[in-house]
């Protein structure tokens, strides 16, 4: 399993203690098993100070998730741009 990327977030709880969360993306390449080609696997793992959870995705499932994330992120960035444009227009008046 190859770790492709990891996004780490540090945060403090109510007591001021520091904690770490990490979103890790791992992959296993496509392989020939018993003479037949098999899909690779994309694993998305959430790691925190208490433990970890993971979901294994087929390439098709990983594409669906990544497409949805990209769409949502673009919509959010476009919304922010619209707010800045409104702000600049308001300042000009």
26-57 b/e with 16+ CB inside 10 Å = b?
A: bbeeeeeeeeeeeeebbbbbebeeeeeeeeeb
Spatial neighbors of 62 by CB under 8 A, at least 6 apart, are: 42
Residue 4 has pLDDT above 90, yes or no: yes
Q: What residues make up the domain containing 92?
A: 59-93
Is residue 32 domain-shared with residue 1, that is, in the same domain? Answer: yes
Number of separate domains in the chain:
2
Give just the sign of the alpha carbon dihedral 74, 80, 85, 86: positive
Residue 49 has pLDDT above 90, yes or no: no
Residues 46, 51: Cα–Cα separation, whole Å: 9
- Pairing mode, if any, of strands 18-28 and 41-48? antiparallel
Q: Which residues pair with 10 in a beta bridge?
A: 20
Give the residue-averaged pLDDT of 21-31. 96
Residue 38 has pLDDT above 90, yes or no: yes
Is residue 44 domain-shared with residue 65, that is, in the same domain? Answer: no
- Report if pTM > 0.85: no
Is residue 50 domain-shared with residue 64, that is, in the same domain? Answer: no
């Amino acid at each position: 399993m190859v770790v492709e990327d990891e996004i780490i977030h540090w945060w403090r709880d109510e007591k001021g203690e520091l904690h770490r969360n990490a979103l890790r993306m791992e992959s296993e390449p496509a392989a020939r098993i018993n003479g037949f080609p098999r899909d690779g696997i994309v694993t998305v793992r959430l790691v925190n100070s208490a433990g970890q959870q993971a979901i294994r995705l087929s390439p098709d499932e990983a594409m669906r998730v990544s497409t949805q994330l990209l769409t949502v992120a673009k919509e959010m960035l476009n919304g922010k741009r619209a707010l800045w444009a409104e702000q600049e227009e308001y300042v000009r008046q």
